[in-house]
Chain A
Amino acid sequence: MTENYSTALQTIINEFKNITPEITNTFMFKKNGEIIASTETTTEDQNKKLIATFNDIVDQAENIGDIETLTIQGADSQLSITSMNNRYLVNVSSRAADEKIVKTLTRVIVPTVVKLVDQIPELSGNELPQAKKPEVKPIEEIVLPDEQATHSESIPDVSASFSSEPMLPEPPVNQFMIEKIGGLLVPCDIVRVDSEVIAKWHDIYGDKEITQVHIETLEGKAIICRFKPIKETSHNAKGIIQFPEKVLQALQTSKGKLVIVKPVITCQGEKIVAAKNKRQRS
């Protein structure tokens, strides 16, 4: 039992009177009789007598299961003893006290705090528990820079260079169904997107250059590649994205499946980093 532990409980007990002035005495003791926290309104001798008397009942209570609560209603005041995780909380209040508040404090709040305090490992000094950093699984990114080859890469670290450019709005996310395109004149690294959607992107980003899209499958496979508008105006292109065979293979997906598409907005700073990364690769 650390000092911090006892202090935490003492603080809560001291607050009881602020919440309900009708609460006159409160203290907490362990099953072995050790007093953990107590208000100043009771003497240690008084508390010890109560513990001894209560233990006389506990000794005989085997056939009703261990005592969870004991409540004495007197004409003027009431006393309750609540068991919580090898400890007992004693609370004395006048009969005028709001029963709901008293019950909330003694049967909900304090037991919850005790449970939480128990879960925190023993602290020493000012040492605080270190929050566990969540493990971040990077999404596998596949970049198709040209028609030569398809290879996996991690997204370049943009955080290294902060741009003074104004903040851009978050890229809109669209969901499309895959349609396969083929033919001799179809470039194998370019996808085709509904021209209305492309127009919307240009409306949002003005004169920013948008040449690539980020495509992600529902399975988490992602790719960045160039795009062009869907050619035939008569074609019902709404909700459709056209993939050449190579992109389908790279994403390990097929016709009719859904993908999430958003435009890649290249800022000046990102361009510098991208150029650096390209130089390093070469």
Chain B
Amino acid sequence: MTITIKNALIFGIRSVFKNTKFIFLLWGINALAAFLLSMPIYYLLIDNLNHSLMSDELALGFDFTWYIQFRNIYESSIGEIPSMIYSMFGVYILIQIFFVGGLISIFNLPEKNHMVDFFFGGVKYWFRFTKIVLISLIFFMMAFIFHDYLGLFIEWAFSETENQMADFIIRLARYILLVFFIGLVTLVSDYTKVHMAVQDTTKIFQSIYYALVFIKINFNKIFTVFLIIALIGAAGAILYNLLEVFIPRTPYYFLLLSFILQQMLIIFRLFIKMYFCSTEVLLYKDLSADVIEVRAKEQNIGVS
């Protein structure tokens, strides 16, 4: 019997709960990277507000004029931040490749899900997965180039027409297409990694081909599970936004409360990330398994 969507979701979540300690590892790295990217901003803020009454005003609410002044005063420092962020994104992706290797290892061998397997898997698969990510990045780059050219085409196509609504809808469709393509590449990339880890193979292109065939054959099941988990993730984000509105900015314990809520959302999103991973391993292992039909024949032997 092949796995049902319901079972994939149930077994997947059980696997995640059995490995909750890894969520905290992922969270720690995420927080560390974010901390490194936040320190420059913090020091700029301290430089600007350390002895200023503006600090009191900003504690109560956002001041747009202060914001544009701040941007103007620290223009050169702030100008460096996007490149810092993009560099950190690069490093972070490499670390994530390591984590994904570890997660697939422990979800692949549920009976041996301990730290050593996690790190062993991370190291073992890192190089293979990096190659997969590089190939994915080529596709992402192609997607963005296509996105840009499509944008120019739409601009040209609508340069002589007044139908702004159609222009808007087509531009929106362009973004949806981009997101869909990124999602598809990510899905193929994920299942390629799972295939490589489960089959313990290093043949990248063969694995990509196998992942494509696998996704094609089982698209409905794979995509439904993917969508359900994505919707659970979105629900968490919506819930956070609904709650966050009601948290005042002062006094200090509300800032703490807000921070706790923010971190809960981050942990929840990491949980969702693990959930994706565990269901992918489950689905792959189950749906790619050979089904052997065993026919038992009842025989009366030696019975009188």
**A pairs with B:** no
